[in-house]
Structure 1
Amino acid sequence: MLDVVIIGAGPAGLAAAIACREADLSVVVIDEFMKPGGRLLGQLHQEPDGVWWNGIEETKQLTTNAYKLGVDILCGVSVHHIEKIEQGWKVHTNETTFTSHNLLVATGAAEVPAPIPGWTLPGVMSIGAAQVMTNVHRVRVGKKGVIVGVNVLSAAIARELQLAGIAIHSMALPAINTVTKDAGHPRKVMEALLRIAHLAPSALIRFGSKLAKNDWIRNMALKCYPKNGVKMWDMPIHLRKAVIRINGKDQVESVTMCKVTPDGERIKGSEETVEVDFVCIAGGLYPLAELAAVAGCPFQFIEELGGHVPVHNEQMETPLEGLFVAGNITGIESAKVARAQGSLAGLSIVKKMKKSTDIEERLNEAMAYVKQVRSNATIQFHPGIETGREKIAHAFKEHQHIS
């Protein structure tokens, strides 16, 4: 019987495996993808200090350390069921069944689809799929495209596509529908963009973002927003235009855009056609937590964390004995935060399995480090992340009290 099974070979899962193996625990890491790394594999961006964050290199470091410690990483293996047993957990996969005293679910996040007429045409993909095809598989997604959805994720990946020599005509809003209420609302999108304006290459944009923190200035900025968009990395970002339709017979041939009011309402007669051969839809991310649900873990909906997240405490423990979580399953944050959470979860498992004189001190240091990484994060996907963390910690205490 293993000491721990870890589902997910992303930054959280690999960091946790390393922490567990350093304490000589037996570990198996399972991931359905063909190689370890998770979303790290597709990430490539330049930090404000000029340093490049290369997800593939970060993955190499983590996997090298894990293999040196004897971590067994099984890729191309899918988990389809989890059940609680008296001594721990039973994890059923498409190849075999594992039993372990502890289980860490580090399954990450998935993208939210944003339907647009024509979105089933070949050449339409999620922004995350474009990232993986470009940075992992080295496949050119097209010659010229449009990104539908203006958010933290789309801005970061748009730059990655440009660096790969792919032309981006522009980024624009999705037309407002029942799914895209916030994503298609210019005012709400502008508020979200203020959190990443410090990454802009233009000093004018950075300065303007500071002024735009005032409500009155934001409203004026939207009313006077340039008809050709505001350029970032020579790529127009439109907050007063929306993509209302993707056109083509057998594949993407063009998109139809129209102007919108500051509240996102279409302006009739303003339609225009833009010829492109691919479209990326950026709908955002949500915690991929189905396996935690199968395990019987209680959940809480917390908007600041990106949706429904498994109830857990600051040490990444859930209310279920021997079940731990880490990474974006606990809330949408950066890969750096996920890695720090993974190390913390690993130490929590070590604490449970082994009585060590220094484990409490190391746990406290790991918890402090997670907070430090979070506070220093270049990009935050959701506002009020600290409030979200407080809410989930309170939910854990409430559940413990009820139990």
Structure 2
Amino acid sequence: MIKTDIAIVGGGPAGLCAAISAASQGANVTIIEKASNLGGQLIKQTHMFFGSQKQYASTRGIDIPDILMNELKKLGSLVNVMLDSTVLGLYEDGVLTVEQNNKYIKIKPDSIIIATGASEKFLAFPNNDLPGIYGAGAVQTLMNVHGIKPGNKVVMVGAGNIGLIVSYQLLQAGIEVKAIIDAAPKIGGYYVHASKVRRMGVPILTSHTVKYAHGKEVLKKVTIVKLDNNWQEVPGSEIDIDADVMCISVGLSPLAELLWQVGCDMIYVPELGGHVPVRNQELETSVKGVYVAGDVAGVEEASSAMVEGRLAGLCAAKNLGYAKENFEELKNDCIEQLYSLRSGPVGEKIRAGLSKVIV
């Protein structure tokens, strides 16, 4: 049985920042990450971040893990990292069971921060299992991590930030983006991202969806169709597009299995991506000592995930007796950063969702 003050499940942006924050207050921290490296989705995000300097604005996502890793190294033995480690269960006695390289390990933390992120949603349409149909995250991994070209002609489904950003990255890789489509009547991503792909000649077709994927062994063609104001297909509006890749970017779902298992109160909140836990201002769930941060708490941008991670780490450490003199200052700064990131019309959906789960 491994003992630790705080176990952090997930070594992405939220988990890394939670570890830095908690260890900086003096707590002993163990990060458990299923991949062979830390950084989560950051390792394939080549675009520059928005926000403020505190959220690494104007820094490319792929460079942020190194910055965070340098912060971790300064904390020395207070931080233990377990890579290639999959959490199998979280039980009522607070024990985590982990599989690492065919070894079965038990960890008993005093508190737990769940920062497991989210998984990609998919679409139902005929032949949606053809080779050549990917989630946007898979395309990013192929291109930006492994340097592999997914294909030559792409139809992007989804005009949120991820769909727009990945479309631009495809263009940078010399791949033709035939069209970006979205079932909604207007795009969901920032106009700055949409403007970049439009200037490069890519049409963005709102109120359109996929009707059919053509091909026997691989994707050859995509049929899209226009939707009316009631989200019904408009007869005779079908368009055929030659493509060998369809990239699906229609949102994320929080990876909340461990929260369900340990008995956290959960609420379905569409604005936050699906079922998310009820939590207080310190990101502690209804189960004492279990905290959340990042997309598992509600799907947002990586900037918000990092700030939530710092807030959860601070509060988890404080509630174990590790608060330093600067605790209140750091906590209030995190709260102010989150308020700023969620302000304005862009954050309206997130604010509406959070109002249902913060107690």
- Superposed CA deviations along residues 216-247 of structure 1, whole A, max 9, x for unmatched, are xxxxxxxxxxxxxx935421111254321111
Alignment partners' CA distance in 2, 1:366 and 1:48: 16
- The answer to whether the 8 A contact 2:6-2:27 is kept is yes
The alignment partner of 1:78 has SS state of: strand
Per mean C-alpha deviation after superposition, the further-off stretch among 250-259 and 95-104 is 250-259
SS in 2 for 1:301: strand
Number of the residue aligned with 2:68: 62
Residue-by-residue CA offset, 1:131-164 (whole Å, 9 max, x unaligned): 2222222221111111123333211221122222
Q: Is 2:98 the counterpart of 1:93?
A: yes
Q: Indicate conservation of the 8 Å contact 2:266/2:276, yes or no.
A: yes
Matched-pair contact (CA < 8 Å) for 1:304–1:383: no
Residue in structure 2 matched with residue 350 of structure 1 by the alignment? 317
Give me the whole-angstrom Cα distance separating, in 1, the residues matched to 2:333 and 2:237. Answer: 57
> Is it true that 1:75 corresponds to 2:83 in the alignment?
yes
SS at match of 1:353: coil
1:172 match: secondary structure? strand
Alignment of 1:164-183 (within 5 A): 164-173=173-182
Distance in 1, matches of 2:310 and 2:48, equals: 25
Aligned equivalent of 1:37: 39
Q: Hey, what's the Cα distance between the residues in 2 that align with 1:159 and 1:349?
A: 39
Residues 151-230 of structure 1 correspond to what in structure 2 (within 5 A)? 151-173=160-182, 184=183, 186-187=184-185, 190=186, 192-193=187-188, 196-201=190-195
1:88-122 per-residue CA deviation (whole Å, 9 max, x = no partner) reads x2110113111111111001111111112111111
The one-letter code of the counterpart of 1:157 is: V
- Percent identity between matched residues is 31
Inter-partner Cα distance in structure 2 for 1:134 and 1:388 = 33
Give me the TM-score of the superposition, normalised by structure 1: 0.79
Larger Rg: 1
How far apart in 1 are the matches of 2:138 and 2:34?
Answer: 16
Aligned AA (1:312): R
- Partner of residue 327 from structure 2, selected from 359, 377, 397: 359
Pairing 1:288–2:294 present: no
Change (3 A) 1:299 1:172: same
From 285, 307, 314, the equivalent of 1:318 is: 285
Tell me how far apart the structure 1 counterparts of residues 335 and 198 of structure 2 sit (CA, whole Å). 39
Report the more deviating stretch, 110-119 or 267-276: 267-276
- The 2-side partners of 1:270 and 1:330 are apart by 39
Instruction: Give the unaligned 5+ runs of structure 1.
Output: 174-183, 203-229, 397-403
Name the residue aligned to 2:54. Answer: none
CA spacing shift, 1:68–1:56, aligned 2, 3 Å: same
Regions of 4+ moved over 4 Å:
46-49
Change (3 A) 1:240 1:318: closer
2:128 pairs with 1:119 = yes
* AA in 2 matched with 1:79: V
Aligned to 2:341: 373
CA offsets, 1:170-224, max 9 Å, x none? 1124xxxxxxxxxx3x43xx1x54x62254437xxxxxxxxxxxxxxxxxxxxxx
Of residues 13, 28, 31, the one that matches 2:15 is 13
For the 8 Å contact 2:252–2:273, the answer to whether it is kept is yes
Residue 265 (structure 1) shift: 3.3
Q: Per-residue deviation at 1:277?
A: 1.1
SS in 2 for 1:312: coil
Match of 1:299 in 2: 266
Distance 1:34 1:48, change over 3 A: closer
CA distance in 2, matches of 1:370, 1:308: 21
Structure 1 residue 84 corresponds to structure 2 residue 92: yes
Q: What do residues 332-354 of structure 1 show as CA deviations (whole Å, max 9, x unaligned)?
A: 11111110111111110221122
Letter of the structure 1 residue corresponding to residue 63 of structure 2 = E
Q: Contact 2:20/2:310 (CA < 8 Å) preserved in 1?
A: yes
Mapped contact 1:43–1:53 kept (Cα < 8 A):
no
CA RMSD of aligned residues (A): 2.4
User: Which residue among 242, 245, 250 is the counterpart of 1:275?
Assistant: 242
Structure 1 CA distance for aligned equivalents of residues 147 and 74 of structure 2 = 28
* Structure 1 counterpart SS, 2:233: coil
In the alignment, structure 2 segments of 5+ residues that lack a partner are 52-56
What's the counterpart of residue 251 of structure 1?
218
SS in 2 for 1:3: strand
Post-superposition offset of 1:259: 4.1
What code does the residue aligned with 2:133 have? V
Q: Does structure 2 conserve the Cα–Cα contact (< 8 Å) formed by 1:12 and 1:341?
A: yes
Structure 2 vs 1, CA of residues 389 and 273 (structure 1 numbering), >3 Å: closer, same or farther? closer
Pair 1:133 & 2:138 matched? no
Q: 1:241 to 1:338 in 2, by over 3 A?
A: closer
Task: Give distance in 1, aligned partners of 2:143 and 2:301.
Answer: 20
Question: What amino acid does structure 2 have at the position aligned with 1:243?
Answer: V
Residue in structure 2 matching 1:104, options 102, 113, 120: 113
Specify whether residues 276 and 103 from structure 1 end up closer, same or farther in structure 2 by C-alpha distance, changes over 3 A only.
Answer: same
TM-score, normalisation: structure 2: 0.88
Structure 1 159/383 Cα, relative in aligned 2: closer, same or farther at 3 Å? farther
